[in-house]
Chains A and B, each alone.
Chain A
Amino acid sequence: MKINTLNRRDIIKKFGAAAGASAATPFYTALAEDKKVSPPQGGKQPKRVVFFLQSQGFSDANCAVKGITSGKSLRSEDLPVFIDPLAPHRDKLTIIQGLHGRHTSPAHSAYYGCLGGYRRNKSTPFDITIDCALSKVLPKAPVPLLSVGMESLNRMKQVPIFHATSAWGPGDKASMICDPTFLYRLMFGSVATGKQRKTYDENSKMLDFIAKTSAESAGTLPESGRKKLDPFSDISTFRDSVSSMSDSLKTYMPEFDEKYSAPQHETDWHDAMLDLTIAALKAGLTNVATINSGCGEFYGSWEGLGIDQRGHSLGHLSMTSDIWTRIRQYNMRMLSKLVQALEETPEGNGTMMDNTLIVYTSNNADKQHTNGASWPFMTLGNFGGTMQEGHYMKIENDRPINSFYATLLEAAGHPVEHFNLGGAYEKYDTGKGALRELLA
């Protein structure tokens, strides 16, 4: 079974399925090959990262703090109404403005370009995205990337697996799970009770039988055919990898309640997705998660917040409109819940939050029809002491979002000059490497 399971076959052996894909994997596959992952200096231990991508935009106005200058603490500042639910976490919050993503040509959504820092393309990622790249350098977990999607109920039911924002390399899309019941069973089925356990066991038995049949079939095939049958036996591989974790899984497994089985609104399922993400982090199933509110596209539905309007037309509203304020505050409450959950869970001498970084931005820069000239981010946490927290940071000198991703890599122990800018960095980046002002 695979929820973006770390599997060299899946991650490295795949190649672009369409135009524009390059099999050369110039940046990160090579890194994975050499395995020279050095721990960050000074005993700091960044362990996990969570990306939260909101569809349709996140504008400077949404995170504008009156009268503040770059580098100043947010500790005693009033946050704008849009992000006000984060007020209890001001000491962990960093607001980052001044980055650009013009080269991603966003317009509606930058898709893989958001986390990849390259030109928008909804069908084929050109290269690895930062969540997947971090997954390769942070401590390993059975699910290297947990990507979840939130949309209208119909959409989440109809498209339980989607691809839009994360990729392991050129053409190698990472799956986004959009159906919480499906995800629940994938991750916690082995320790669940009742119907979910029954279904999991049934499916496992079936898949075991299929694995056996396909293995017999594979025995008669040449090498090229045998490889294609590997996914048929992944269920047992995954089960083995989590077999020693059953206590942890049981401890953090969410209750399978009506929120999953009989949702009233899509927000029930959005909440369920957040709960599952938190549970997966706590249980150690994953160390990297990407939450896609709007599934990385330019639709989205929040009827549960009393918002009738939905889909593409939401993006035609101002980012500071009442509707977007309600959506944004809902996002922020989710982030707050995530922070609290990690803070209350011990890890080492502190809590999980001590070793975590949460990154909030939009998959489409600042608004629906944008040229990507302004692309604000917010972070929560200090990533195991490697990054600044609690500040407002205005990045000068026209640096691209790629430089922020390079910063995350450096914080995780992997300094790079450029993330996915290739030979074009001079055109889009006035500097090199990490944004030093963000590092601790």
Chain B
Amino acid sequence: MTEFDEEEALISFIDRVSVNSYRKYQIMLRPFLIHVICALLMISATTSYGGPALAGEVSQQAFIEKHCIECHDSDTEKGGFNIEPLTSVTAANTVEWQKVWEQVSLKEMPPTKKEQPVHLDRMHFVNGVIAGLQEASKNQGGFHENLLPTKGNYVDHELLFSDAVKVAEPPSTPSRMWRIHPAAYLVKLNELVHNTPEYNPKYPGQLASGDPVMVSKVNTDTGDLRLSLGSDQVMGIRNGSGWTGDFPSVRPVQSLSQERGLQDFAVMYEVTSDEMQLLVTGAKAVLKHMIVGSDVPDYMWRDPEKYKLSRTSTKIVDGKKQTSADRESTHLYIKGYQRKYSPFMDIMETEVLPTQAQLEKLVPFLFKALTGRHPRVKELNEQISFIQNEVKALGKVEGLIVGCAPIFLHPEALYRYEFGSGEPDPHGRVMLAGDELANSIAGALTYMSPDPQLQAALKGGELKTREDVLREVTRIMDDGSIRKPRILRFFQEYFDYHRAPSICKDTQSLKAVGVLEDGNYYNLQMNYLVSETDRLIEYILESDRDVLRELLTTDKSVVRVRPTIKEDNYFNTFNDAKSISFYDNTVSKYRKKDGWTKSETGIEDIERPIFIREYWVSTSVTGPSPWEMLTFPATERCGILTQPSWLIAHSDAMDNHAVFRGRWIRERLLGGGVPEVPITVDAVLPDEPKESLRHRMRVTRAKECWRCHQKMDPLGLPFEMFNHVGKFRKTKDGKQVDENGNPVDASGEIIASGVPELDGKVEDAFELIHRLANSEHVEQVFVRHAFRYWMGRNETINDAPTLQAAHKAYQDNGGSMKALIISLLTSDSFLYRKPVQN
């Protein structure tokens, strides 16, 4: 068919579907239809569906006429929205078309009382609008909104988990470059420069090789992600702020977005040119440390004769006791400082310039550590030649630093390449292969390069088929000694509890709930709370049974025993000890059983520092892993959504935040969505500090607000059982009251979930949570989020088989996260790539 023929055919098609339409709309909508039909043809070219409903030509115009025009023509203009002028998607009206896309995708429109389109019609209409937006925005950066994680739920859930759609084309992911997660880049650097202990199953709470480099949240609420060079040799940190001070450090690249929800999508990040400048600086610092060591201020070298440190981080100087506030006492390098071995050490043993043989050992060492693969012959030769030239020009040390730095900025050190190779299959897909496949498997679970066995499999030609991938993924999942921080990271981003430290609390509001705000100390407690939830999740993952339900309903909590009585009083998140009904020793493995008692052991007794896998590492460098498992009455705590970390992460400076909480449930459990608030909406509750939040939120009941707020507020208000720092509210005369003595009304309701058996009123948060935890729909929504996280993109209708298989694997294995992950990582969606049409 020639181009002309195609156009004719299109027009003919448009005329045919328009024949029974209102005349004026036929004229008005034609340009739009051309866009839409083009889009549909494009879609059908890549996505052939088997069902008769899809074979039928769905008329976009008919959709608008049937479902939109009645209320949104220029006469009626309901809600102030007139669709008539939107004759086509243009750069000038993309905002309006985005509203259409959003409202129809989220089933806000047509309104529930009107006749609803069938799922496939809705999907086709939405796809057409997206295609129109993409076309109209192509000179303005393109339309990518549908690719962002916040829009994942816009794909119809029922279509994804039903048999209605027979997908003729098997799943695949667009070929891409996925920026290496900043945390992963740091771990690679960390492994290069630091002696990280191998994982010790006796002490799973200890920081081990492959664990993330921790983020300090003290001085900036956006997080301070960096690697402190030489921190493996540090002893005695008890004062949190000391950690962020004077170490030579490396910041990898700017942090990920601090928005709520999943963040690490391939389409979201690029390495920018200003980041490149930072990376150069960082690479040079790391190389200097590896070659000759870092510049360390004198006072950071511990002189045991002069300084005696105790666990309370006081030091004795000249017989006088100094407090931990003096930074010079709080972070010191140990005696016998040793840098980690690298081929640089062989080169630096003598004064002669590096030999060819030494460089042939050095370059692959760095290349493999940073890109996950060996250099090709040409790369090796060019890199060696560059180093040699720099050494000649700048001398040995400087030349090595400048000469080797480019390896740290190699595109494959910053991006994971996912293009696939080999002959395309009949659907145009190619499977990931070779280094790409090995790096993708390793990168899905770890922050490390492929482990030795995976590399061996690759080298031995045993990493080619889906079965090979299944074998390797299963092995890595089963091997407890391979740290898999990406799994915990998924739960952090899914639940968002790790955002608790970024919530800046108002001093007076903290006082009102019995917490004294004291700068860093408050932040410290916030980070403890995150760590506690981390450990609880790990505990649940260890048994790997009914994982989601357990996460939502467990009555257990892991609590970090506060080091001193003072701290207990200071921020006793959980109410007094009487509320603890059961002390469970099953996680006593988190406690170091030997070699330490609370009062007597100082750092002098320990040869090497022990780091604990806190979310924030600046405390407890020595000593035990002091987590304890507690079981709370089922009337007080119920899973992650009642953990203080989650509650605080979904609060604001002064109070609970029912909208954040409700929205979380709407999106992450119910799989729904709420349209974006216009950027100029003035969303402020009345300033009535003595009134309950529920009363203050009466303003959202206004007609123009309630349409969206009904999807959130009744899901968030049941958490009024807790205050804004996550404490279970006290009772008076047998009933809970808030800090002003107002009775707590924790009732709520699930409205318009799309699943009739879920809808209805609830008495409190616990009834709400239990109802949701028992829902298969909620389980499927959880699977969708796992899919997005591990694929680094939103699902499309083509991914339905992957999602259904993953859910089945989860169910068939008794709610096993491991089975779910293995299913995802052996799916076509994970293994196959398809070139992007430019």
- Could you tell me if B411 and A217 are in contact, using CB atoms closer than 8 angstroms? yes
Which of A18, A186, A420 has the most C-beta atoms of chain B within 10 angstroms of its own C-beta? A18
Task: From the candidates A26, A158, A205, name the one contacting B94 in the complex (CB within 8 A).
Answer: A26
Residues of B within 8 A of A209 (CB): 386, 406
Residues of A within 8 A of B98 (CB): 22, 24
A228 CA to B261 CA in the complex, in Å? Answer: 25
Task: From the candidates A3, A154, A221, A224, name the one contacting B219 in the complex (CB within 8 A).
Answer: A154
Residues of B within 8 A of A421 (CB): 680
A127 CA to B95 CA in the complex, in Å? Answer: 13
Q: Does A197 contact B (CB under 8 A)?
A: no
- Could you tell me if A213 and B379 are in contact, using CB atoms closer than 8 angstroms? yes
Residues of B within 8 A of A399 (CB): none
Query: Which chain A residue shows the least CB distance to B283?
Result: A206
Task: From the candidates B177, B226, B405, B680, name the one contacting A158 in the complex (CB within 8 A).
Answer: B226
A159 CA to B281 CA in the complex, in Å? Answer: 13
- Could you tell me if A235 and B276 are in contact, using CB atoms closer than 8 angstroms? yes
- Could you tell me if A228 and B280 are in contact, using CB atoms closer than 8 angstroms? no
Q: How far is the CB of B165 from chain A (nearest CB, A)?
A: 27
- Could you tell me if B177 and A225 are in contact, using CB atoms closer than 8 angstroms? yes
Task: From the candidates A25, A118, A231, A312, name the one contacting B679 in the complex (CB within 8 A).
Answer: A118
Question: In terms of DSSP, what is the predominant structure of the interface of chain B?
Answer: loop
- Could you tell me if A202 and B273 are in contact, using CB atoms closer than 8 angstroms? no
Residues of B within 8 A of A12 (CB): 140-141
Q: Does B789 contact A (CB under 8 A)?
A: no
Residues of A within 8 A of B411 (CB): 213-214, 217-218, 228-229, 232
Q: Does B260 contact A (CB under 8 A)?
A: yes
Q: Which of A164-179 contact B (CB under 8 A)?
A: 169, 175, 177
Q: How far is the CB of B583 from chain A (nearest CB, A)?
A: 38
Q: How far is the CB of B161 from chain A (nearest CB, A)?
A: 25
A295 CA to B241 CA in the complex, in Å? Answer: 20
- Could you tell me if B402 and A202 are in contact, using CB atoms closer than 8 angstroms? yes
B-contact bits for A202-235, CB 8 A (1 contact / 0 none)? 1101110110011001100111110011011011
Query: Which chain A residue shows the least CB distance to B151?
Result: A19
- Could you tell me if B251 and A160 are in contact, using CB atoms closer than 8 angstroms? yes
Residues of A within 8 A of B94 (CB): 24, 26
Q: Does B139 contact A (CB under 8 A)?
A: yes
Q: Does A44 contact B (CB under 8 A)?
A: no
- Could you tell me if B148 and A18 are in contact, using CB atoms closer than 8 angstroms? yes
Residues of A within 8 A of B419 (CB): 221-222, 225
Given contacts A213-B382, A213-B410, contact A155 B402 (CB under 8 A): no
- Could you tell me if A18 and B251 are in contact, using CB atoms closer than 8 angstroms? no
A128 CA to B264 CA in the complex, in Å? Answer: 24
Task: From the candidates A13, A182, A206, name the one contacting B406 in the complex (CB within 8 A).
Answer: A206
Task: From the candidates B91, B259, B682, name the one contacting A105 in the complex (CB within 8 A).
Answer: B682
- Could you tell me if B280 and A23 are in contact, using CB atoms closer than 8 angstroms? no
Residues of B within 8 A of A214 (CB): 410-411
Q: Which of B516-553 contact A (CB under 8 A)?
A: 519
Residues of B within 8 A of A154 (CB): 219, 244-245
Q: Does A90 contact B (CB under 8 A)?
A: no
- Could you tell me if B95 and A26 are in contact, using CB atoms closer than 8 angstroms? yes
- Could you tell me if A16 and B145 are in contact, using CB atoms closer than 8 angstroms? yes
Q: Does B751 contact A (CB under 8 A)?
A: no
Given contacts A33-B140, A186-B277, contact A19 B258 (CB under 8 A): no
Q: How far is the CB of B323 from chain A (nearest CB, A)?
A: 17
- Could you tell me if A163 and B254 are in contact, using CB atoms closer than 8 angstroms? yes
A154 CA to B220 CA in the complex, in Å? Answer: 11
Residues of A within 8 A of B272 (CB): 2, 10, 175, 231
Q: Does B143 contact A (CB under 8 A)?
A: yes
Q: Does A304 contact B (CB under 8 A)?
A: no
Residues of B within 8 A of A224 (CB): 174-177, 836, 838
Q: Which of B199-245 contact A (CB under 8 A)?
A: 219-220, 222, 224, 226, 244-245
Q: Does B616 contact A (CB under 8 A)?
A: no
Q: Does A73 contact B (CB under 8 A)?
A: no
Given contacts A213-B410, A224-B836, contact A19 B259 (CB under 8 A): yes
- Could you tell me if A25 and B145 are in contact, using CB atoms closer than 8 angstroms? no
Q: How far is the CB of B110 from chain A (nearest CB, A)?
A: 22
Query: Which chain B residue shows the least CB distance to A212?
Result: B382
Q: Does A20 contact B (CB under 8 A)?
A: yes
Q: Does A427 contact B (CB under 8 A)?
A: yes
Q: How far is the CB of B248 from chain A (nearest CB, A)?
A: 10
Given contacts A21-B148, A24-B98, A231-B270, contact A422 B679 (CB under 8 A): yes
Q: Does A124 contact B (CB under 8 A)?
A: yes
Residues of A within 8 A of B145 (CB): 15-16, 21-23
Q: How far is the CB of A51 from chain B (nearest CB, A)?
A: 20
A304 CA to B117 CA in the complex, in Å? Answer: 67
- Could you tell me if A24 and B278 are in contact, using CB atoms closer than 8 angstroms? no
- Could you tell me if B257 and A18 are in contact, using CB atoms closer than 8 angstroms? yes
Q: Which of A369-383 contact B (CB under 8 A)?
A: 369, 371
A221 CA to B382 CA in the complex, in Å? Answer: 20
Task: From the candidates A26, A105, A299, name the one contacting B683 in the complex (CB within 8 A).
Answer: A105
- Could you tell me if A222 and B835 are in contact, using CB atoms closer than 8 angstroms? yes
Given contacts A19-B148, A23-B143, A231-B273, contact A210 B410 (CB under 8 A): yes
Query: Which chain B residue shows the least CB distance to A223?
Result: B838
A-B contact list, 6 entries, CB within 8 Å: A18-B150, A18-B257, A19-B148, A21-B145, A123-B258, A152-B219
For the complex of A and B, 5 pairs with smallest distance between CB atoms: A234-B273, A2-B273, A424-B680, A18-B259, A24-B94
A residues adjacent to B (C-beta < 8 A): 1-5, 10, 12-26, 29-30, 33, 102-103, 105, 107-108, 118-119, 122-124, 126-127, 152, 154-155, 158-161, 163, 169, 175, 177, 182, 186, 202-203, 205-207, 209-210, 213-214, 217-218, 221-225, 228-229, 231-232, 234-235, 238, 297, 299, 311-313, 316, 369, 371, 420-424, 427-428
Known: A24-B143, A223-B838, A423-B678. 17 other contacts (CB 8 A): A2-B274, A4-B274, A16-B148, A23-B144, A26-B95, A29-B140, A29-B141, A30-B140, A102-B682, A158-B220, A161-B254, A161-B278, A209-B386, A213-B406, A213-B410, A222-B838, A313-B519
